[in-house]
């Protein structure tokens, strides 16, 4: 990998990881190398052959070594072990992000396991399908979908901008949110539907009349139970890492079902009004007339520029570290600058040189200016 190439490592090459790779390749980012690792060797090979990654890695350490950004797209409970394996091989100043459906637990693992100088920005793309695996990955999976971002409070601004650039590159819309708040809300709109779909299917499938009912199960039953076909490992990990929030919404759902039971038993006008109100509210939601909480206006950076900025910051930090480790020389007469002044000046000159190099690269990428007139 040359100095002008930025390596992005994707750990986990299923539906989400594979789709991120395809989306980044579709963005035609020059000077970016995608390295992928999955515990299943066949998945790694498929991801490379379909163009989701440039190169396969044999393990987590090889994948993240020298990477400017690491994207962990594994099942939630596997994220902790990935962070543990990756930690000794991460480059100082690099960014780690994830795609897990719960955020509070993951941010806690990142604080516990990642070395200082590595920046973590939690992420959760609100996109997916009930069909899993690299075979179902697609470049447009994230287009016009919300992409939740939960930066660690100590994350460098350049690191946050780099992940914002990733969101921009894959066509998603960033949504900054507190991790605890995120977990409570997705428990209602994502995790509860998963449990309800599965519970409905197991209830009906477990009936003694299933053989007679199955031929009658048309689109209503199929659509309502669609999420039951999802990855069981993902479903399990969601319930384990977001237990309290999910139990809260399950209890509320049980109360709501009892309310509907009462309305059906009574059979009065309130039953019709309830269905009518639900129809109107859902139609408004589907037509995007529901206005959410206003988000701060965020300028979405170019992904390549954000990575280069991250690289410059990392290079300056490394240079500063080396400069401060230089042995102290005796002060000389003649008004020679102090060691602190020399260090500051050298760092400024080094940064200016890097910025000139960056501008030359950007000018080269953009090509010659169009003729005037």
- Break the chain into its structural domains and give their ranges: 7-177, 182-266
The pTM of the full predicted model, rounded to 2 decimals, is: 0.77
Give the contacts of 74 (CB within 8 A, at least 6 positions apart): 11, 12, 17, 82
Res 56: pLDDT: 96
C-alpha 90/C-alpha 95 separation (Å) is 9
Give the number of C-alpha atoms closer than 13 A to the C-alpha of residue 65, restricted to the C-beta side.
8
Query: Mean pLDDT for each 10-residue chunk of the chain (373 residues)?
Result: 76 96 92 94 96 96 96 96 97 94 96 94 90 92 94 84 92 93 96 97 96 95 94 94 97 98 95 95 81 57 64 50 50 48 53 59 56 47
Res 320: pLDDT: 46
Topology, domain 7-177: Rossmann fold (3.40.50)
**Model pLDDT for residues 221-256, shown as the tens digit of each residue:** 999 999 999 889 999 999 999 999 999 999 999 999
Contact status, residue 54 vs residue 48, Cβ threshold 8 Å: yes
Name the token pair of 140.
Answer: 């447009």
- Which string of DSSP letters, residue by residue, matches 126-176? S---SS-SGGG--TTTTTT-EEEEEE-TT--HHHHHHHHHHHHHTT-EEEE
C-alpha 311/C-alpha 175 separation (Å) is 25
Q: Which residues pair with 147 in a beta bridge?
A: 125, 174
Alpha helices (H) along the chain: 15-26, 41-49, 60-64, 76-86, 104-113, 157-169, 179-186, 192-205, 210-213, 219-224, 232-241, 243-266, 269-286, 303-324, 339-366
Give the contacts of 64 (CB within 8 A, at least 6 positions apart): 9, 11, 70, 86, 89, 90, 94
Name the token pair of 11.
Answer: 């750990």
Please state, in angstroms and as integers, the Cα–Cα distance from residue 76 to each residue in 54, 179, 309, following that order.
25, 14, 30
The CATH superfamily holding the domain 182-266 is 6-phosphogluconate dehydrogenase C-terminal like domain (1.10.3660.10)
Contact status, residue 137 vs residue 19, Cβ threshold 8 Å: yes
Place of tokens 């070594």: 65
Name the token pair of 113.
Answer: 């396991």
Q: Which is nearest to 150 in space by CA: 172, 128, 125?
A: 125
128: left (phi over 0), alpha (psi -120 to 50) or beta: left
Res 294: pLDDT: 58
């Amino acid at each position: 990998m040359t100095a002008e190439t930025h390596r992005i490592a994707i750990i986990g090459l299923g539906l989400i990881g594979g789709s991120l790779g395809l989306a980044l390749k579709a963005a035609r980012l020059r000077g970016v190398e995608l390295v992928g690792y999955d515990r299943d060797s066949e998945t790694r090979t498929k991801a490379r052959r379909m163009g989701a990654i440039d190169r396969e890695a044999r393990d987590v350490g090889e994948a993240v070594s020298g990477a400017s950004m690491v994207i962990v797209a594994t099942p939630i409970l596997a994220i902790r072990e990935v962070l543990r394996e990756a930690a000794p091989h991460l480059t100082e100043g690099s960014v780690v992000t994830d795609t897990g459906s719960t955020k509070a637990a993951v941010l806690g693992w990142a604080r516990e396991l990642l070395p200082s100088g590595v920046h973590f920005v939690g992420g959760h793309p609100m996109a997916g399908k009930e069909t899993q695996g690299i075979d179902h990955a697609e470049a447009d999976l994230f287009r016009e979908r919300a992409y939740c971002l939960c930066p660690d409070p100590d994350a460098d601004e350049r690191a946050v901008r780099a992940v914002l650039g990733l969101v921009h590159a894959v066509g998603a819309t960033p949504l900054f949110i507190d991790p605890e708040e995120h977990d409570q809300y997705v428990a209602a709109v994502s995790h509860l539907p998963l449990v309800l779909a599965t519970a409905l299917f197991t209830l009906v499938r477990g009936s003694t009349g299933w053989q007679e009912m199955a031929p009658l199960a048309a689109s209503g039953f199929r659509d309502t139970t669609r999420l039951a076909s999802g990855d069981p490992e993902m479903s399990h990990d969601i319930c384990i890492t977001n237990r309290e929030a999910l139990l809260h919404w399950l209890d509320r759902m049980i109360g709501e079902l009892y309310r509907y039971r009462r309305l059906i038993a009574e059979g009065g006008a309130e039953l019709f009004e309830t269905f009518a109100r639900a129809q109107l509210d859902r139609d408004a939601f589907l037509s995007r007339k529901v206005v959410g909480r206003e988000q701060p206006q965020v300028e979405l950076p170019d992904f390549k520029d954000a990575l280069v900025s991250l690289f410059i910051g990392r290079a300056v930090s490394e240079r500063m570290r080396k400069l401060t480790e230089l042995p102290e020389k005796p002060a000389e007469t003649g008004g020679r600058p102090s060691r602190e002044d020399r260090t500051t000046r050298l760092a400024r000159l080094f940064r200016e040189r890097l910025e000139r190099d960056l501008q030359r690269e950007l000018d080269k990428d953009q090509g010659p200016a169009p003729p005037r007139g």
